Structure 1
Amino acid sequence: MRRKRKPSSYFKKWFGLPLKQRLFQAGIATVAAGALAALLMAAYVFLFLVPTLPEINALTEYRPKIPLRIYTSDHVLIGEFGEERRDFVPIADMPPVMKNAIIAIEDSDFYLHDGVDFGGLVRAALVNLRNSRSQGASTITMQVARNFLLTRQKTYTRKIQEILLARKIEEQLSKDKILELYMNQIYLGERAYGFGTAARVYFGKAIHDVTTAEAAMLAGLPKAPATANPIVNPKRATERQQYILKRMRDLGYITPAEYARAAQEKLKIKREANRFGTHAEYAAEWVRQQLYAQFKDEIYTSGLTVYTTLRQKDQDAAYEAVRRGVLDYERRHGYRGPEANITLPSDKESRQQAIDEALIKYPNSGNLKSAVVTAASTKSVRAEMLSGEPIQITGEGLRFAAGALSPKASSRKRIKPGAVIRVIQDAKKRWAITQLPEVGAAFVAMDAQDGAIRAMVGGFDFALNKFDHVTQAWRQPGSTIKPFIYSAALEKGFWPGSMIEDEPLTGVIGENGREWNPGNDDGQYQGPVTMRTGLKRSRNLVSIRLLRDITPPYARDYLTRFGFDAERHPANLTMTLGTGSTTPLQMAGAYAVFANGGYQVAPYLIRKIVNGRGEVLSEAQPQQAGDENLRVLDTRNAFIMDSMLRDVTHSGTGYLAGQRLNRRDIAGKTGTTNDTVDGWFAGYGGNIVAVTWMGYDTPKSLGGREFGSTLALPIWVDYMRTALRGQPDSLPAMPNGIVQLNDDFLYQEYVASAEQSMDRGSIGGFLDRLFGTPAAPNRENEMELRRQQEMYGG
């Protein structure tokens, strides 16, 4: 048997060779080892990695997930629904400054290499050997491969897959197509995907409008989109932006002068709360629900675009009017106290953390900011907001909550250090204490000619209460229903000059068999009054007698002409006091019949739906007043009712509207239910119909000194002042078949009976001798007029 050599003998022999020979042999061994490693690596790549590479169909057949977007009729974004915010922008439409900024920081040799920068890979590998922080050296093409086809796990295997896919992509797609995919797919923070979307999210503008400084800011986002974007961390985002601007200058993409200007430019970042052009959250949600019923989950990814009938100017005016009206109501009814109380630690850092945690639970509501009180006295309150900004409230700003600053205030109501309060700033930057409203409100305005909804506000703040009071709140209409009963009476031979008794009905036996003596709340009665006076002063007993004569079944059926649901209104005399139920939207459609001369046009919000390819899927074909197929009311009836409703707004319960707007064509009706549970105003002018409502979601009294004219009418006036600005008065011409008697209007065929009635005396008095009918009084009467005078003068 041959004897084995000891290992040491090899080394002795090798070290005995000349140096050159030893180096030569070592080099051969190294090359052989490297060749073997390369061979093994190649075998691994071609036998194991290449067969498992994903297909690149996702790139060649790219279908980005684009959310549902909803716009006003004048192209202002009001809603966006989908997991990803994405605007697909073709490379041809991408501005050069944006492309150059990206190439400067991500891949300066993009148009020169074949998908892989091997020099960059070697440099990155050397850096990684010396530094624990890894460097990827991924080209734009490699990033496209990773973002579309691979995971983000940092391994050598994935890096090799990136290289292989990058070469494959470069073989099948042009450089511009690759750059287009990158610029539209990459995540850039704030749920924004692609640079087109990021420009809109961060700067509120289209990508083709970005400046050099803005383009550099956007180009810096891919490195750390979630933690270093200009909203989350402005400092880090700005540092990277400045570095990119230097790169653009050094590469010759911008001149030194352009660099200097861009480096000094102050960027205006658009915060999340302001990313929509107007507050129309309730309308946007209503649209989303309608589209979901038709297209299901496809609406969130297929790029549908919806154009509504809303107008930004009208929507802004409606939103501000509702907010102002609700806050005015809150001020009239006193401060309820802080929303919460927290303990303030003495340690500065812990104290700040406690404040931040508390305020996150009580987010801002528009211009109503939440703050934690740090010091309080009867003359001054200091507080801190979530932004860290300290504020001080003094003087007039304390008036609303003065009682809560008194030492005698209850512990629940008292403002003290640790109290979470709401503050608001006026035009002069002075802070005042306010409170988050509990009362609900609704406003809707539509075009009387075709039903297009121009403005819609379903509540004070969608983020706090998503219940849409415009479309979902079925509430008692109070006296806003009376004009429809009066309209029905015109068809039965009554006319505005008909004399009706405004006197108590005594000894009446109600349906429950008990005696009931209905009357006016103020205990005052005017005796015989004209039907016109009965409506403009909203006299309950006049309305009851009218309904008694025409009969409740006839009146209830008559209501359906205006779009009301008959089953939602009682077939008894309380119907004329508004004991049924309706929504503000349904009420607006009903008043449109008076406004447009007798045609029922359906309110609508969606004007056009467009798919992701720009193809129109559907477009509204609205009904138009003037189409006789839509006529539900004699044109004479509409004319007479219009004249009576204009009296309401010029010398009746709604006189504030005529006084404040100073227009002859303003018409409408106030409405207040029993115990002032609901307050309404419904009316029109200049072919715009608008309805306002206020009340609590859980019905309760709004206050004994409140009426439709103090709750809803000021909101209506605020909106109409903007909506009708610059429009001339629009008064209807008197139609044929109407004559005048005693300076009032009536149907020609009823002249003889009207004259006979005048000879006999009061119709109401005659009927009262024959009948007695129960009714429940409401609070809309002379007290309401006096309350208006106290609040607004006049």
Structure 2
Amino acid sequence: MAITGVYLYLAPTLPDAETLKDVDLQTPLRVYTADGLLITEYGEKRRTPITYQEIPPQFIDALLASEDDGFFEHSGIDLKGLARAVFDLVTTGRKKSGGSTITMQVAKNYYLSSEKTFTRKFTEILLALKIEKALTKEEILELYVNKIYLGKRAYGIEAASQVYYGKSITELNLAELAMIAGLPQAPSAANPIRSPERAVSRRNYVLARMYNLGKISEAEFQQSIRQPATARYHGATSEISAPYVAEMIRQEMIRRYGNKAYTSGYSVYTTINSARQRAANAALQKGLLKYDRDHGYRGTQTSYAVIPLNVPEAPELEEWIAQADPAKDVDWPQTLEAWEEKLRDLGDFGIIEPAVVMNATEEGAWVYSIGKIRWLPFAGMTWAAPYLSVNSVGNAPENALDVIRNGDLIWLEATPSELKLAQVPEAEGALVSMNPHNGAIEALVGGFSNSDNQFNRATQAERQPGSAFKPFIYSAALDNGFTTASLINDAPVVFKDASLESTWRPENYSGKFYGPTRLRQALYRSQNLVSIRILKQMGPATAVRYIQDFGFNPARLNKDLSLALGASAVTPLDMATGYSAFANGGYKVSPFVMQSIISDTGEVLYEANPTLAMAPPEEDATGNSVNEGTAHSNPTSEINAEQTDKVEAPTLYAERIMSPENHYLTVSMMRDVVRRGTGRKALALGRNDLAGKTGTTNDQKDAWFSGFNPDLVATVWIGFDQPTTLGRWASGGGTALPVWVDYMREALDGAPEEHFEQPEGIVTVRIDPDSGLLASPGQKDAIFEYFKAGSAPTEYARTKDIIPYQEDEGGSGGGSVIPEQLF
């Protein structure tokens, strides 16, 4: 009667078991590259649901042997086990023994709390019976393996397999499957990382049960119980390192969906190109490490006590431990385990990794990095002269003991040819690379390591770009009456301007003055005084109105003559966005990194629809867009391009912000920066389709290079987070440009050369290089220059040396020497 009463009381409150067919498992947010590689996942619970068909049959045998060997025969409850559990609960008030079937655990996990009371247990039983009627055994088992907690934030067997072994459940051997199957009983206390001995004992129990039930042979049993525990913690699986991009996506998803973003199984596909992202990671880290080594070794900040141990040549880790004499040496197994935990806690630093010095000698040192012992030769430390200041270093070391000691926490860089000592750079940097045709960010690195500092310098560091900003000034000048041959006097000048310092004496970076200089020369030589005089003639307000269309916030652009020297605060992303117009023919695109959002059921929740850098089909006869600017009626951000709810999104065309003529002339001058100016190191790429500009600010606090070809833009910035000098030898061309070259070498590998098409409104004229006027007929040093139609000089320069008239072999005359053409 009592049981009947309880049933009548509880039955109306029971949930509908049919709802389990549509259960929404909490799954993490996953972020992918454009080509489908996993960047990272976010969420309290690591879970990757799998279907029943994907579960290895041997795992099912192991799980049932461990948890419920009568699962496929009972109706949801195990009467004997249940009677024992109920007796314990009633007589002691505590649960001492099992009794729950897998179906009952499904009922508890999906509907009930872990409260240990008679009422909850009886509800669990009734629910189990309902579930057995509503679902098949296979459906119940699928729910169970995807829901159970298995330690280390892993929910479900696929997540546990990834956490403990770094691979899918379908790739595990029998011993590993049994290890996972043994976890549900005590997932935290008996997991193979925290308690390997207890976990192995539990695993062997599962294997024994499988053998006794006839699920495995004696040979399989004997082989599996002899296998050592190989589990170790594997963080969130990542196929490509792009932590700064991942954080940008996380913030945007939280803005859109709140905390639901972490649990609803969203998959976000970014615009990141995995090959280019890898190239960007490596290029920036290599560049910062080179700068750091050039400025000396700062020494180690952390040491661990260690007793030296003589080591044989090329030891394996097991050999090292086996030969250790406990009476003379440290407890190596315990020491190495402690070191490994500390080293892992340091995080991911890309191409360098932490290590501890085990035994240092004059010739080098045996060092321990995660999972291995390595020999670091003195040859890998010869660079490590002591750091004295940003401009000086001490004497070079004579042997390894001048640099490191036993127990030192050090950093290593492994190259194909050697192992070298390294250190985490104090100087920082950023690299942004974009597709100029639509604004898609294809690579973004916000610093040397996200593990060390989460500040995203690519999007958040507002720094002065220096001369890298000059192309915008020069383009504005071309739009306001100047030509590429306009002659500007490069001479000392003193300005008294109330908006600046009381007296301002700007200088060129080289400290030299060149006198009258053509506009083209001034840009590729990066002459400050010419840029200032150009801006003074135009007026800062005119320049700001023109430049803001490149995507710069006008409120952050200086309204005085310092604008000419790049003294306004911009981010690397701002610069890459602005340079995209130079690359794409003069169109304004907006940066974005989120391509699409996919729900856990495969529904497309969002698809980016960026503006395209091309003329819309309905152009009038003059080449001006009839609907120019329409694409920007709803501004976009670096996270999102324009979104539309229509199934077929309309094509959005970008606004043209440079005339075809202005664009061609500006780019031709920027190509000369690479061909003969401050960007000559880019010639190492052996391409003829590159253009860009270096930038170095006052006191060498910032080093920049922004450059492009018609299909790819990249901006590199290097500096200290707290602005201070990089040293008297630092410059955009020497510090930032090599990083850009390393990146573009990989990013453009295999890409054919592209060309900047010359528009119809451009004419080519022979001019005198000194005056910028028309060259005299037959002038020896005449050069070709480009002009907008109607803006070429009409006056001839004073007569210089004339090339004598020569008849060709056919007697037709002509045949003057063709002067060098600049472009």
TM-score of Structure 1 vs Structure 2, range by shorter chain: 0.7 to 0.9
Give the corresponding residue for 2:735: 711
Structure 1 residues 364, 297: CA separation in 2 closer, same or farther (over 3 Å shift)? closer
Q: How much identity, in percent, do the aligned residues show?
A: 41
Deviation at residue 515 of structure 1 after TM alignment: 4.9
Tell me the alpha carbon deviations over residues 736-755 of structure 1, each in whole angstroms, 9 at most, x when there is no partner.
Answer: 1100012121101202xx23
The one-letter code matched in structure 2 to 1:174 is T
CA distance in 2, matches of 1:623, 1:53: 54
Deviation at residue 537 of structure 1 after TM alignment: 1.7
Give the corresponding residue for 2:188: 226
Q: CA contact under 8 A between 2:192 and 2:232: conserved in structure 1?
A: no
CA distance in 2, matches of 1:494, 1:647: 18
Deviation at residue 272 of structure 1 after TM alignment: 3.1
CA distance in 2, matches of 1:372, 1:366: 18
Structure 1 residues 296, 406: CA separation in 2 closer, same or farther (over 3 Å shift)? same
Q: Which has the higher contact order (CA 8 A, sep 6+)?
A: 1
Give the corresponding residue for 2:761: 737
SS at 2:379 equivalent: helix
Give the corresponding residue for 2:436: 448
The one-letter code matched in structure 1 to 2:409 is V
Alignment of 1:43-442 (within 5 A): 59=20, 62-92=23-53, 94=55, 96-119=57-80, 135-152=97-114, 162-202=124-164, 204=166, 215-229=177-191, 232=194, 244=206, 272-273=234-235, 275-341=237-303, 348=330, 352=335, 362=346, 365-373=349-357, 376=360, 378-381=362-365, 383-384=367-368, 392-401=375-384, 403=386, 415-427=404-416, 431-442=419-430
Q: Given the alignment of the two structures, is residue 746 of structure 1 paired with residue 787 of structure 2, yes or no?
A: yes
Give the corresponding residue for 1:467: 455
The one-letter code matched in structure 1 to 2:29 is L
Deviation at residue 464 of structure 1 after TM alignment: 1.6
CA distance in 1, matches of 2:341, 2:60: 41
CA distance in 2, matches of 1:515, 1:317: 46
Deviation at residue 274 of structure 1 after TM alignment: 6.6
SS at 1:712 equivalent: helix
Structure 1 residues 228, 311: CA separation in 2 closer, same or farther (over 3 Å shift)? farther
Give the corresponding residue for 1:602: 590
Q: CA contact under 8 A between 1:363 and 1:369: conserved in structure 2?
A: no
Give the corresponding residue for 2:700: 676
The one-letter code matched in structure 2 to 1:309 is T
Unaligned 5+ segments in structure 2 are 308-327, 388-393, 616-624, 629-654, 767-783, 801-823
SS at 1:272 equivalent: coil
Give the corresponding residue for 1:692: 716
SS at 1:69 equivalent: strand
- Which piece of structure 1 moves more, 432-441 or 264-273? 264-273
Deviation at residue 633 of structure 1 after TM alignment: 0.7
Q: Give RMSD over aligned pairs.
A: 4.0
Alignment of 1:496-515 (within 5 A): 496-505=484-493, 508-511=495-498, 514-515=502-503
Deviation at residue 310 of structure 1 after TM alignment: 0.8
Deviation at residue 78 of structure 1 after TM alignment: 1.4
Q: CA contact under 8 A between 2:674 and 2:692: conserved in structure 1?
A: yes
Structure 1 residues 111, 597: CA separation in 2 closer, same or farther (over 3 Å shift)? same
Deviation at residue 145 of structure 1 after TM alignment: 2.7
Please point out which of 543, 560, 564 is paired with 1:555.
543
CA distance in 2, matches of 1:206, 1:144: 23
Deviation at residue 427 of structure 1 after TM alignment: 3.6
Deviation at residue 501 of structure 1 after TM alignment: 2.8
Unaligned 5+ segments in structure 1 are 1-38, 762-794
Give the corresponding residue for 2:631: none
Tell me the alpha carbon deviations over residues 602-642 of structure 1, each in whole angstroms, 9 at most, x when there is no partner.
Answer: 11111111223322221111111113421111112212222
The one-letter code matched in structure 2 to 1:529 is T
CA distance in 2, matches of 1:694, 1:731: 30
CA distance in 2, matches of 1:243, 1:610: 42
Please point out which of 768, 789, 794 is paired with 1:755.
794
Tell me the alpha carbon deviations over residues 414-433 of structure 1, each in whole angstroms, 9 at most, x when there is no partner.
Answer: 754554333344445x6543
Q: CA contact under 8 A between 2:104 and 2:127: conserved in structure 1?
A: yes
CA distance in 1, matches of 2:501, 2:42: 57
Please point out which of 557, 573, 588 is paired with 2:561.
573
Please point out which of 660, 664, 669 is paired with 1:639.
664
Aligned residues: 711
The alignment's TM-score, normalised by the length of structure 2, stands at 0.77
CA distance in 2, matches of 1:510, 1:548: 12
Structure 1 residues 337, 287: CA separation in 2 closer, same or farther (over 3 Å shift)? same
- Which piece of structure 1 moves more, 210-219 or 564-573? 210-219
CA distance in 2, matches of 1:273, 1:529: 59
Tell me the alpha carbon deviations over residues 487-511 of structure 1, each in whole angstroms, 9 at most, x when there is no partner.
Answer: 1121223332333333323x54444
Structure 1 residues 172, 263: CA separation in 2 closer, same or farther (over 3 Å shift)? same
CA distance in 2, matches of 1:343, 1:212: 41
Alignment of 1:465-544 (within 5 A): 465-505=453-493, 508-511=495-498, 514-544=502-532
Deviation at residue 136 of structure 1 after TM alignment: 1.9
- Which piece of structure 1 moves more, 346-355 or 677-686? 346-355
Q: Given the alignment of the two structures, is residue 701 of structure 1 paired with residue 725 of structure 2, yes or no?
A: yes
CA distance in 2, matches of 1:239, 1:268: 14
Q: CA contact under 8 A between 1:686 and 1:724: conserved in structure 2?
A: no
Deviation at residue 685 of structure 1 after TM alignment: 2.1
Tell me the alpha carbon deviations over residues 435-463 of structure 1, each in whole angstroms, 9 at most, x when there is no partner.
Answer: 12222211111111111111111111112
Give the corresponding residue for 2:774: none
Q: CA contact under 8 A between 1:203 and 1:269: conserved in structure 2?
A: yes
Give the corresponding residue for 1:12: none
Structure 1 residues 88, 278: CA separation in 2 closer, same or farther (over 3 Å shift)? same
Deviation at residue 570 of structure 1 after TM alignment: 1.5
Deviation at residue 301 of structure 1 after TM alignment: 2.0
Alignment of 1:582-593 (within 5 A): 582-593=570-581
CA distance in 2, matches of 1:392, 1:513: 57
CA distance in 2, matches of 1:180, 1:329: 55
CA distance in 2, matches of 1:255, 1:92: 24
Q: CA contact under 8 A between 1:447 and 1:688: conserved in structure 2?
A: yes
CA distance in 1, matches of 2:511, 2:198: 72
Specify which structure has the higher proportion of helix: 1
Deviation at residue 200 of structure 1 after TM alignment: 4.2
Q: CA contact under 8 A between 1:686 and 1:727: conserved in structure 2?
A: no
Tell me the alpha carbon deviations over residues 135-161 of structure 1, each in whole angstroms, 9 at most, x when there is no partner.
Answer: 524321122233234444667776655
Tell me the alpha carbon deviations over residues 693-730 of structure 1, each in whole angstroms, 9 at most, x when there is no partner.
Answer: 11111111111101112222122122211211111001
Deviation at residue 83 of structure 1 after TM alignment: 1.5
Deviation at residue 118 of structure 1 after TM alignment: 3.2
- Structure whose alpha-carbon radius of gyration is higher: 1
Deviation at residue 680 of structure 1 after TM alignment: 0.8
Structure 1 residues 497, 273: CA separation in 2 closer, same or farther (over 3 Å shift)? farther
Q: CA contact under 8 A between 1:477 and 1:581: conserved in structure 2?
A: yes
CA distance in 2, matches of 1:330, 1:580: 27
SS at 2:611 equivalent: coil
Give the corresponding residue for 1:4: none
Deviation at residue 468 of structure 1 after TM alignment: 0.8
CA distance in 1, matches of 2:593, 2:405: 47
SS at 2:483 equivalent: coil
Structure 1 residues 48, 401: CA separation in 2 closer, same or farther (over 3 Å shift)? farther
Deviation at residue 186 of structure 1 after TM alignment: 0.6
Deviation at residue 103 of structure 1 after TM alignment: 3.0
Structure 1 residues 190, 676: CA separation in 2 closer, same or farther (over 3 Å shift)? same
Q: CA contact under 8 A between 1:364 and 1:370: conserved in structure 2?
A: no
Structure 1 residues 252, 708: CA separation in 2 closer, same or farther (over 3 Å shift)? farther
The one-letter code matched in structure 1 to 2:492 is P
Give the corresponding residue for 1:657: 682
